[in-house]
């Protein structure tokens, strides 16, 4: 019994720096603050899901499908939902070039104002392809964090960008699972 | 007994006759059909096989429900209605009791073909100014037309079926109660339509999984629909058109800004009329007359194609695609000029389906370039992206046939679900033209122009092909291509259905780009560009072009082959 106690104490002492460090990391302030502006890069349907998630997480959010720099007024976070929808772009009267220009202006202004960017990719495998990938490559590098539905990152494309630009990434199984990391990001 | 055995063995003549009879009976035995397992690649052509009867539909549970009905002695009409109810439970985003459609029925004992038209109608009080500045209707209650599918199914059942309402709803109720695992197709469409569903049906609806779209493999159940169907069984369909369900429908429509009344529902009646008839080579085709444009345009297209050596050109050849695209542009020009509800506008059907009119079009088509203008063209840009709607094919042992196409219009219809009912209301009002001078203009109680084209084709005097498809304005183009694949390119049913498709149209007299599935070769695409076509490449198997179901009846080989489109979740069940 004594031996076990001593061994346990030894292990605690041995790993205490690690435990403390981890604890320290967990208690670090979450990177994002409210209110948040939700918009998409690609006019996808998932922007509505992001809005429902924000509402369920109790976050103070504003949704704008065609957000411009003036929508950043009083905002403390930009949530950018990545993925192109031909149908959505058509309905908004935009093509990919115009959509890129819109998001670019928004992100540039957010950078100037030190408003952090949280990127979401919720459409899974179906929301990948040349158009979506072009938008992901263009805007994900500016993010502080990415929350991604796993099936959309089967080929490691999204995690590859995150690794390159040192962006924290959380992979989840289903859209509904975004709720927990989203809440934690804004605690 | 023993004595007889000795006699048999010792009689060489009798023994020889018996042996010959045995050999003869072996060769003349009913041939066993070798049924192959479905391939792991769903897009690889695969014919479902039967000998007595078959059901093909857009969901395996619905096809199974229909086949069970045939096996317990129901006829083709019983099975078709059973399948239709089962589709409401298993493929609720494409059709259902609050939609509408058309049914072509072949009554074998009378050798008679008839059409049941249960297209939805505009409510009486519908305002003409429901279109916004872009000529579109907002996705709200004004998009809902008077539901008519339930009335159409039950009219057909009572007149031509043998079973009752309880029999034909039993499987649908089970599917709705027990549920099923959502397919990739269901999940993708659910995600695409999320905004409409959450806006009109709310976060708590069964059409979302706790407020979010269903992922493939998730369990989808609809106990409210099961309760609604049980209520209709116990109280009759008047419950839907005049009772508590009618009140719930009107309330839901009005809450979302619509104008439907109880009177609109109470007055709805399906109509029955003779089919539209056309000929292509040795084949006779029967389909539906207006208010669908589908039957007219398939006959028109086949009349035009008859003038060309398509067999020599071959499938997927630039010459074939170019000529058919040009024909489609003329057909769409006619569509915008002439087609609408015949109760409100005069449609020159005989002229349009005449061989003479086809020859006039053929004479204008150039083999080496596109035209700049297609006379009479005034078709609005209402070619929707959605490949909505659903088709059912049935044949029974007696040879009765049903070819049924029905819809709630766009996927998930209007997204409006009357309180605690579990069924989706249609958004068929979108099919009206916003142009008040169009033959398809919106009028109280008029039926909007459709493209549905359920058909039955005869080879000489025998039923040969049952066919239909969803796919909006692509329907008659896709079905024409499938018919040509079978008749001219000698393909079997599913090969013909899975073959690459293309589509184009004209608008305001001008040609629109050719949409092509990505399986066409670069060489073909380049050749089309050189002929003057602009092209748009779509997915390899794109549901934009529909999800056809078909049955090929090869009586001489005592076999029925079913083809079900892998662009959706098509499935066949034969026995």
Mean of the pLDDT values across residues B186-196? Answer: 91
Looking at B339-395, list the stretches that DSSP marks H as alpha helix, in order from N- to C-terminal side.
Answer: 349-352, 355-364
B27 — pLDDT class (breaks 50, 70, 90): low
- The pLDDT of residue B539 is 87
> To probe the interface with B, which of A176, A177, A179, A182 has the most B CB atoms within 10 Å?
A176
- Which among A56, A90, A126 has CB closest to B191? A126
Distance CA(B69)–CA(B171), nearest Å, equals 9
- How far does the CA of residue A83 sit from the closest CA of chain B (Å)? 12
The radius of gyration of chain A from alpha carbons, rounded to an integer in Å, stands at 19
Name the most confidently modeled range: B11-25, B223-237, B541-555.
B223-237
Contact A49 B194 (CB under 8 A): yes
- Per-residue pLDDT tens over the stretch B473-493: 999 999 999 999 999 999 999
Say if residue B159's pLDDT is above 70: yes
- The pLDDT of residue A60 is 97
Is the CB of residue B305 less than 8 Å from the CB of residue B480? Answer: yes
Task: Specify whether B345 is catalytic.
Answer: no
- The pLDDT of residue A16 is 44
Using an 8 Å CB-CB cutoff, list chain B residues near A174: 212, 215
Q: Which CATH architecture has domain A31-185?
A: 3-Layer(aba) Sandwich (3.40)
- The pLDDT of residue B133 is 80
- The pLDDT of residue A19 is 42
Say if residue B140's pLDDT is above 50: yes
B34 — pLDDT class (breaks 50, 70, 90): low
Looking at B236-317, list the stretches that DSSP marks H as alpha helix, in order from N- to C-terminal side.
Answer: 238-241, 244-255, 262-267, 294-305, 310-313
pLDDT exceeding 90 applies to what percent of chain A?
A: 71
A168 Cβ under 8 Å from any chain B Cβ:
no
Structure-token match 């056309």, residue found? B278
Using an 8 Å CB-CB cutoff, list chain A residues near B210: 176
- How far does the CA of residue A128 sit from the closest CA of chain B (Å)? 13
Structure-token match 């009646």, residue found? B269
Residue A2: CB partners within 8 Å, gap ≥ 6? Answer: none
- Per-residue pLDDT tens over the stretch A94-146: 889 999 999 999 999 999 999 999 999 999 888 998 899 999 999 999 999 99
- Per-residue pLDDT tens over the stretch B310-356: 999 999 999 999 999 999 999 999 998 999 999 999 999 999 999 99
- Which among B195, B215, B385 has CB closest to A48? B195
Distance CA(B424)–CA(B409), nearest Å, equals 11
Looking at chain B, which residue has its C-alpha nearest residue A85? B192
**Which among B82, B83, B389, B421 is annotated as catalytic?**
B389
User: What is the CA A161 to chain-centroid distance, rounded?
Assistant: 13
Distance CA(B441)–CA(B95), nearest Å, equals 24
- The pLDDT of residue B558 is 84
Burial class (CB in 10 A: 0-12, 13-18, 19+), A178: buried
Kindly report the average pLDDT of chain B as a whole number: 92
Quick one: angle between helices A130-139 and A157-164, nearest 10? 20
Residue B495: CB partners within 8 Å, gap ≥ 6? Answer: B45, B485, B563
> How far are the Cα atoms of B46, B392, B547, B570 from residue B566, in angstroms, in the given order?
10, 15, 7, 6
Structure tokens at A83: 């993925």
Mean of the pLDDT values across residues B207-223? Answer: 95
The radius of gyration of chain B from alpha carbons, rounded to an integer in Å, stands at 25
Range list of β-strands (E), B362-443 = 390-395, 401-407
Looking at chain B, which residue has its C-alpha nearest residue A126? B188
Say if residue B465's pLDDT is above 80: yes
Report A:88-117 residues touching B (Cβ under 8 A): 90
Contact A49 B203 (CB under 8 A): no
Q: Which residues lie across from B168 on neighbouring strands? A: none
Structure tokens at A103: 């998001």
Using an 8 Å CB-CB cutoff, list chain B residues near A176: 209-212
The contact set of B with A (CB < 8 A) is 188, 191-195, 198, 203, 209-213, 215, 385
The Cα angle at residue A123 between residues B548 and B144, in degrees rounded to 5: 55
For chain A, what are the domain ranges?
1-29, 31-185
Q: Which residues lie across from B441 on neighbouring strands? A: B433
Looking at chain B, which residue has its C-alpha nearest residue A90? B385
Closest listed residue to residue B450, CA positions, set B472, B426, B417, B470? B472
- The pLDDT of residue B310 is 98
Looking at chain B, which residue has its C-alpha nearest residue A48? B195
Contact B212 A123 (CB under 8 A): no
Contact A52 B188 (CB under 8 A): no
Using an 8 Å CB-CB cutoff, list chain A residues near B195: 45, 48
Identify the structural domains of chain B with CATH numbers, from first to last: 31-179+221-547 (3.60.20.40)
A172 Cβ under 8 Å from any chain B Cβ:
no
Dihedral of CA atoms B59, B101, B552, B476 in degrees, nearest 10, equals: -110
pLDDT exceeding 90 applies to what percent of chain B?
A: 82
- How far does the CA of residue A66 sit from the closest CA of chain B (Å)? 16
Tell me the pairing of strands B571-574 and B401-407: unpaired
- How far does the CA of residue B184 sit from the closest CA of chain A (Å)? 10
């Amino acid at each position: 019994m004594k031996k076990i106690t001593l061994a346990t104490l030894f292990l605690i002492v041995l790993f205490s720096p690690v435990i403390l460090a981890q604890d320290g990391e967990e208690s670090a302030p979450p990177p994002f603050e409210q209110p948040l502006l939700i918009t998409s890069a690609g006019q996808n349907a998932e922007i509505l899901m992001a809005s429902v998630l924000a509402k369920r997480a109790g976050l103070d959010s504003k949704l704008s499908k065609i957000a411009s720099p003036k929508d950043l007024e009083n905002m403390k976070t930009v949530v950018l939902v990545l993925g192109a929808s031909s149908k959505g772009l058509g309905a908004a009267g935009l093509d990919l070039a115009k959509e890129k220009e819109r998001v670019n202006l928004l992100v540039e202004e957010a950078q100037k104002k030190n408003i952090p960017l949280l990127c979401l990719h919720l459409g899974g495998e179906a929301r990948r392809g040349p158009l979506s990938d072009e938008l992901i490559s263009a805007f994900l590098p500016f993010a502080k964090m990415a929350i991604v539905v796993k099936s959309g990152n089967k080929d490691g494309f999204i995690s590859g960008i995150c690794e390159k630009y040192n962006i924290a990434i959380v992979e989840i199984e289903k859209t509904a699972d975004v709720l927990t990391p989203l809440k934690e990001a804004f605690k | 007994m023993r004595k007889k055995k000795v006699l048999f063995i010792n009689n060489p003549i009798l023994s020889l006759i018996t042996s010959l009879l045995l050999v003869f009976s072996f060769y003349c035995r009913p041939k066993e059909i070798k049924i192959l397992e479905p391939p792991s690649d769903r897009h690889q052509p695969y014919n479902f096989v039967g000998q007595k009867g078959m059901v093909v539909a857009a969901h395996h549970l619905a096809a199974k429900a229909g086949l069970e009905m045939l096996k317990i002695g129901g006829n083709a009409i019983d099975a078709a209605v059973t399948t239709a109810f089962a589709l409401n439970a298993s493929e609720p985003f494409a059709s259902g009791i609050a939609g509408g459609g058309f049914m072509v029925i072949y009554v074998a004992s009378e050798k008679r073909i008839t059409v049941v038209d249960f297209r939805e109608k505009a409510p009486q009080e519908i305002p003409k100014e429901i279109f916004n500045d872009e000529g579109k209707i907002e996705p709200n209650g004004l998009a809902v037309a008077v539901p008519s599918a339930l009335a159409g199914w039950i009219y057909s059942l009572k007149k031509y079926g043998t079973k009752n309402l309880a029999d034909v709803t039993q499987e649908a109720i089970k599917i709705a109660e027990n549920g099923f695992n959502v397919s990739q197709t269901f999940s993708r469409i659910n995600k695409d339509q999320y905004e409409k569903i959450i806006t009109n049906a709310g976060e708590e609806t069964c059409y979302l999984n706790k407020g979010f779209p269903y992922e493939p493999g998730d369990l989808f159940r609809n106990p409210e629909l099961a309760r609604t169907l049980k209520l209709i069984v116990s109280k009759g369909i008047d419950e839907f058109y005049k009772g508590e369900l009618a009140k719930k429908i009107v309330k839901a429509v009005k809450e979302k800004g619509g104008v439907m009344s109880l009177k609109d529902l109470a007055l709805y009646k399906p109509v029955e009329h003779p089919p539209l008839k056309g000929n292509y080579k040795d084949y006779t085709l029967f389909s539906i007359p207006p208010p669908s444009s589908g039957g007219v345009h398939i006959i028109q297209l086949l009349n035009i194609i008859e003038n060309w050596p398509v067999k020599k050109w071959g499938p997927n050849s630039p010459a074939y695609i170019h000529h058919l695209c040009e024909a489609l542009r003329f057909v769409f020009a006619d569509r915008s000029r002439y087609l609408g509800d015949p109760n409100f506008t005069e449609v020159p059907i005989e002229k349009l389906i005449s061989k003479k009119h086809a020859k006039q079009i053929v004479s204008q088509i150039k083999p080496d370039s596109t035209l700049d203008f297609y006379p009479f063209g005034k078709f609005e840009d209402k070619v929707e992206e959605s490949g909505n709607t659903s088709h059912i094919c049935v044949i029974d042992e007696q040879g009765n046939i049903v070819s049924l196409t029905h819809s709630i219009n766009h996927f998930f219809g209007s997204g409006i679900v009357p309180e605690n009912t579990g069924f989706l209301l249609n958004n068929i009002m979108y099919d009206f033209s916003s142009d008040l001078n169009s033959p398809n203009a919106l009028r109280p109680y008029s039926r909007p122009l459709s493209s549905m084209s359920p058909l039955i084709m005869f080879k000489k005097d025998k039923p040969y092909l049952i066919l239909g498809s969803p796919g909006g304005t692509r329907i008659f183009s896709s079905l024409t291509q499938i018919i040509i694949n079978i008749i001219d390119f000698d393909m079997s049913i599913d090969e013909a259905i899975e073959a690459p498709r293309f589509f184009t149209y004209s608008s305001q007299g001008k040609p629109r780009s050719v949409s092509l599935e990505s399986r066409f070769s670069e060489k073909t695409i380049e050749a089309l560009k050189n002929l003057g076509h602009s092209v748009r490449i779509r997915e390899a198997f794109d549901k934009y072009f529909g999800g056809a179901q078909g049955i090929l009846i090869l009586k001489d080989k005592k076999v029925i082959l079913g083809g079900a489109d892998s662009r959706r979740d098509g499935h066949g069940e034969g026995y």
